[in-house]
Amino acid sequence: MSKKIKGNQKHLTLSQRIVIEKGLNDQIPFAEIARKIQKDPSTISKEVRKHHEYATRKPTAPAIPCSNRSDCRIRYLCSENCAMFCKICQKPKFRCLDICPDYKPTQCTKLNKPPYVCNGCSKKPSCLLQKVFYSAKYADDTYRDTLISSREGINQSVVDIAMLDALVSPLLLKGQSIAHIYSTHAAEIPCCRKTLYNYIDKSVFSARNIDLRRRVRYKPRRKSTHVSLLVREFRVGRTYDDFQKLIKEHPNTAVVEMDTVEGAKGGKVFLTMLFRNCSLMLIFLMEEKTQDCVKKVFDHLTQSLGTKVFQALFPVILTDNGVEFQDRLRLECDENGEIRTQIYYCNPHSSWQKGMIEKNHQYIRHVVPKGKSFDKYTQKEINRLMNHINSEARDSLNGCTPYKLSLLLLNNQLHSVLHLQEIPPDDVMLRPELLK
């Protein structure tokens, strides 16, 4: 039994093509070349025939003789008065090859059998026929161009594209993300996400790139770590280092990140809370960005849920050093003086330490752009916004929505008190039209 040649079923490399070119120049048979690069001789034959190139002829080069020259009897191509055979006419600036309708260039018969090219031909310097050569560089470039172009284009039928457009475009126009669309319609989409993005980029669908959510760009972080005396006072024992120490000692502690989102300067603001374990975000509309307004939200939740449930849902809160959060004792204790939560503070100018809620704010900005006033909104409208945000599937949750996950991980009394509801997947909208 013959030994199997190594390297079969693999593409040729540039170094192997160089060996092929050198072998052709030295008039080495295909079989011997194949043994050198550990390929089958038929592979060499196919490679040479597929990737050869025709030599470029100079304008001053002699014309290629006509294959019909020996039997040609054509006259009168240049003038009706000339009785000479056109093939032997000596008139200046006249060649029958340029005007004869029966001209057919002669082809070398050696090109129809191995080695199919002129690389090692001894008559190459004096030959007038069209020459064909094998070049390793040209062959490798052609191969790579084919490799790339074969993967370009749209590998879908017109009907499939139309059906995909009817499914995806209306959802994109509602402000839904590709991740959310895939989590709910994966079985109906016959391509991967990258391919879907490529289709959108090539304007295959009615939805365009402009309908996709813009990428959020963050301003450069300031490196200053200056903290005033006032800030130091309320941060004692509640710094980010203290928070990390607590989490290390009690890794199963539920953490809630808290922040505020501003609209127009001096108007209403949003107080946001995000549960790290399920990415559920709560949004509360406040009249002002003050300590009293934040305390009102805390007191409302405590009264509606009860102190015990509040303690279970919000055992540890991580927030920034904003003025509205600096009255720590009033926020941590209820009206009866009972401790309901513990508040820890990020390092100054280090909002990335509560990065989950910072990133989640982008969902709000899809509906309410930065700088737009919140004064015209009511809490009922904000609840609608909150439900749409929490009903979008996330890659970070393996295609699940924060709402569904929160039903498993949080006390469901929170859902009834805050009117949390699930929005059907295809009805999720994160566009300004949601609050109009």
Residue 86 resides in a domain:
no
Q: What is d(CA 19, CA 394) in angstroms, rounded to the nearest whole number?
A: 53
* CATH at 382: 3.30.420.10
Q: Are residues 143 and 269 in the same domain?
A: no
Choose the final residue of a domain: 113, 128, 149.
149
pLDDT at 133 over 80: yes
Q: Which of 83-97, 130-144, 164-178, 293-307 has the lowest mean pLDDT?
A: 83-97
Residue 349 resides in a domain:
yes
pLDDT at 153 over 90: no
Q: Are residues 242 and 286 in the same domain?
A: yes
- Count of the separate structural domains present in the chain: 3
* 395: its two tokens: 């890659």
Q: Are residues 300 and 352 in the same domain?
A: yes
Percentage with pLDDT > 90 across the chain: 55
- The values of phi and psi at residue 203, to 5°, are 60, 35
Q: Are residues 312 and 373 in the same domain?
A: yes
pLDDT at res. 229: 39
The band of 8, judged by pLDDT with boundaries at 50, 70 and 90, is low
pLDDT at 192 over 50: yes
Which burial class, exposed, middle or buried, applies to 235 when counting CB atoms under 10 A from its CB (0-12, 13-18, 19+)? buried
pLDDT mean over 241-246? 94
Q: Are residues 118 and 163 in the same domain?
A: no
pLDDT at res. 344: 95
With contact defined as beta carbons under 8 Å apart, do 108 and 129 qualify?
Answer: yes
Q: 10 Å Cβ neighbour count for 245? A: 11
User: Is it true that the peptide bond before 41 is cis, omega within 30 degrees of 0?
Assistant: no
Residues 246/247/250/252 CA torsion (nearest 10 deg): 150
Choose the final residue of a domain: 96, 115, 149.
149
With contact defined as beta carbons under 8 Å apart, do 384 and 430 qualify?
Answer: no
Residue 387 resides in a domain:
yes
The band of 6, judged by pLDDT with boundaries at 50, 70 and 90, is low
Q: Are residues 242 and 176 in the same domain?
A: no
pLDDT mean over 129-136? 93
The band of 259, judged by pLDDT with boundaries at 50, 70 and 90, is very high
Q: What is d(CA 219, CA 72) in angstroms, rounded to the nearest whole number?
A: 82
Residue 122 resides in a domain:
yes
Q: Are residues 385 and 314 in the same domain?
A: yes
Residue 8 resides in a domain:
no
Q: What is d(CA 108, CA 122) in angstroms, rounded to the nearest whole number?
A: 14
333: CB partners within 8 A, 6+ apart: 339, 340
pLDDT mean over 405-431? 94
Q: Are residues 175 and 314 in the same domain?
A: no
Q: Are residues 276 and 311 in the same domain?
A: yes
The band of 202, judged by pLDDT with boundaries at 50, 70 and 90, is confident
Q: Are residues 175 and 144 in the same domain?
A: no
This prediction's pTM: 0.64
Q: Are residues 307 and 355 in the same domain?
A: yes
Residue 278 resides in a domain:
yes
Which burial class, exposed, middle or buried, applies to 261 when counting CB atoms under 10 A from its CB (0-12, 13-18, 19+)? middle
Residue 221 resides in a domain:
no
Residue 78 resides in a domain:
no
pLDDT at res. 232: 65
Q: Are residues 344 and 409 in the same domain?
A: yes
pLDDT at 5 over 80: no
What is the domain range of residue 23?
A: 14-65+105-149
